[in-house]
Amino acid sequence: MAKADALVKMRNVYKQFGGIRAVEDMSIDIHEGEVLGLLGHNGAGKSTLIKILSGAYPIDSGEIVIGGEQADIQNPRDAKAYGIETIYQTLALADNLPAPANIFFGREIRTRFGALDEAAMEHAAIKVMKRLNPNFKNFHEAVSNLSGGQRQSVAIARTLQFNARIIIMDEPTAALGPHETQMVADLIQNLKKEGMALVMISHDLHDVFDLADRITVMKNGRHVWTGRVQDTDKDEVLQMIILGKLPDGSYAPGIVSEDAA
């Protein structure tokens, strides 16, 4: 079960690019041991909101509270120091290298003589992969030869190795087949069991209903609705995404009724 108080609270967040109001007055909570699904049309502001948390964009105004304390996130390094890691759709893996080298890429373990400590990295890689994907055996294979789900587990293992506690996933199941999607679902279950706080951006309502515990819907940079998946259904959520219309027929603050047009 998720703890009562959220690990991450983003409050009244605003972000503008020139004249474009990408995010306006957005607030979300991210709990440990839980997946928050972030939904909305193209341009709704999902990536911008999450990039503020990962330090890719500085916040214009609003606040971020992590573990009860005000967080100052100016850049990706600050975010990593708070245990925030992002897994982008591209995964950012070095294709020609095997899993251990990818997990430790840029943060290699060296012997006291300065040489790469391949044995130590492989040992650590096996340990971290076991937590995520016990069936994974291809530690000597270049990651380009791995399946989509296996590549996803390597990317996640990389974040776990460096003490992530908040993991942001942008479209983790896009372009994966059913078997691979199931593998990612299993990975996410394992991360939840470990008490990670997860945020998942997705366009796939089906996956969100399968994987998320709660969902937040955005439209035109603003908050439409947040609630538990069991308290809504796909038709209601689709209406919120497209029209910004709540199940009771009303509209969230700042959302302009398209019926009125």
- In this structure, what are the phi and psi dihedrals at residue 70, rounded to the nearest 5 degrees? -60, 125
Which residue is associated with the tokens 């009771």?
248
Q: Which is nearer to Mg ion, 47 or 216 (CB)?
A: 47
**Chosen from Mg ion, ligand ATP, none, partner binding at 90 (C-beta under 5 to 8 Å by type):** none
Query: Applying CB under 5 A, does 54 fall inside the site for Mg ion?
Result: no
Q: Which two tokens stand for residue 98?
A: 């095997």
**Chosen from Mg ion, ligand ATP, none, partner binding at 20 (C-beta under 5 to 8 Å by type):** ligand ATP
Q: Which is nearer to Mg ion, 42 or 250 (CB)?
A: 42
Candidate segments 15-23, 46-54, 60-68, 181-189, binder of Mg ion by CB under 5 A: 46-54
Query: Applying CB under 6 A, does 71 fall inside the site for ligand ATP?
Result: no
Q: Identify which of 48, 53, 58 has the alpha carbon closest to the alpha carbon of residue 21.
A: 48
Q: Which two tokens stand for residue 1?
A: 């079960």
**Chosen from Mg ion, ligand ATP, none, partner binding at 242 (C-beta under 5 to 8 Å by type):** none
How many whole angstroms separate alpha carbon 217 and alpha carbon 192? 21
How many whole angstroms separate alpha carbon 64 and alpha carbon 11? 6
- Residue from 26, 32, 47, 82 touching ligand ATP (CB under 6 A): that is 47
Query: Applying CB under 5 A, does 47 fall inside the site for Mg ion?
Result: yes
Is residue 17 within 8 Å of residue 60, measured between CB atoms?
A: no
Candidate segments 40-48, 86-94, 106-114, 187-195, binder of Mg ion by CB under 5 A: 40-48
Cα 73 to Cα 83, 121, 200, 236, 249, distances in angstroms: 12, 30, 20, 35, 37
Query: Applying CB under 6 A, does 119 fall inside the site for ligand ATP?
Result: no
- Residue from 1, 19, 42, 253 touching ligand ATP (CB under 6 A): that is 42
Query: Applying CB under 6 A, does 22 fall inside the site for ligand ATP?
Result: yes
Q: Which two tokens stand for residue 80?
A: 């990593």
- In this structure, what are the phi and psi dihedrals at residue 54, rounded to the nearest 5 degrees? -85, 0
| Binding region for ligand ATP (CB under 6 A) | 17, 20, 22, 40, 42-48
| Binding region for Mg ion (CB under 5 A) | 47
